[in-house]
């Protein structure tokens, strides 16, 4: 029987071996975040990680999820999609020398808007922060072909996907939500920055092309207004963030899941 300290070490090793742990120290290492109030892991984290994954029903949560720390601030600056991904002023653009996996400006579809092609681009979710420093679980899947999309949900119409999601989530105690842009973008990018491992990627020999619908509607007044924000299609040149309606069909609209822990 493992004691609490040994169990914690074992769980973190499994997560780390799967490239699925991003903690407060990683934000400090890569971006020099000097906040003193970044919290420790929740007291019940080992119980959670050792619980059955509700989406596979055969593996543990530690085998199929990214455990990700999402700060509200870094050096007093709000951590938002904009403050991370802006190719001129963002964390990713200005700290590439300290990262093991160089990012540059790795957000498709935003670059032109951030650089002034659409100076009025002020969608609220681009400026949104989390309400407090949080730990989040993001479903990554138990195989390369899942690639961050829930099983049984790939390439189905959104109306069918949401029924499957709601059914799976109900069985999990309604602990999960659809991915939210800030959290899923940050988690996917920090996993890559730390480990070089990508999820929600364009297809390769190990992984199927994958995006995830999110809970957010694209809320500007231009092209794409009212469509869901979609994240994924991660290629060597960046992570796609855009708006893809069901009728466009040139990218799969898959669906992931996330769970906030604190």
pTM, rounded to two decimals: 0.88
Encode the chain (262 residues) as per-residue pLDDT tens digits: 888 899 999 999 999 999 999 999 999 998 889 999 999 999 999 999 999 999 988 899 999 999 999 999 999 999 998 888 776 677 877 665 556 555 544 554 444 444 333 444 457 788 889 999 999 999 998 766 678 999 888 878 888 889 999 999 999 999 999 999 999 999 998 998 888 888 888 777 677 788 898 998 877 666 566 778 888 888 766 778 877 664 444 455 789 999 999 6
Stated as kind and residue range, the H or E segment containing 7 is helix 4-17
E strands along 43-83, which residues?
65-70, 73-74, 77-78
Are residues 233 and 200 in contact, defined by beta-carbon separation less than 8 angstroms?
Answer: yes
Cα separation of 180 and 125, whole Å? 9
Q: Which of 215, 202, 201, 210 is nearest to 257 (CA)?
A: 215
Handedness of CA 69, 126, 118, 253 (dihedral sign): positive
């Amino acid at each position: 029987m493992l004691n609490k300290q040994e169990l914690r070490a074992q769980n973190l090793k499994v997560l780390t071996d799967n490239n699925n742990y991003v903690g407060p120290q990683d934000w400090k290492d890569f971006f020099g975040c000097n906040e003193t109030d970044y919290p420790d892991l929740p007291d019940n984290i080992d119980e959670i990680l050792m619980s059955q994954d509700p989406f596979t029903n055969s593996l543990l949560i530690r085998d199929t999820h990214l455990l990700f720390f999402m700060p509200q601030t870094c050096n007093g600056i709000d951590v938002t999609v904009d403050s991370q991904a802006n190719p001129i002023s963002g964390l990713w653009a200005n700290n590439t020398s300290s990262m093991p996996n160089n990012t540059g400006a790795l957000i498709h579809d935003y670059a032109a808007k951030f650089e002034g092609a659409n100076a009025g681009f002020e969608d609220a979710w681009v400026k949104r922060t989390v309400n407090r420093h949080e730990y989040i679980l993001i479903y990554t899947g138990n195989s390369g072909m899942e690639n961050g999309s829930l099983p049984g949900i790939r390439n189905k119409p959104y109306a069918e996907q949401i029924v499957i999601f709601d059914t799976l989530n109900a069985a999990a105690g309604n602990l999960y939500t659809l991915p939210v842009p800030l959290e899923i973008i940050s988690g996917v990018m920090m996993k890559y920055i730390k480990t070089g491992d990508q999820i929600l990627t364009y297809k390769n020999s190990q992984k199927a092309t994958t995006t995830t619908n999110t809970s957010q509607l694209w809320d500007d007044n231009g092209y794409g207004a009212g469509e869901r924000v979609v994240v994924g299609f991660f290629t060597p040149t960046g992570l796609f963030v855009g708006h893809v309606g069901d009728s466009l069909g040139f990218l799969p609209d898959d669906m992931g899941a996330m769970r906030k822990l604190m």
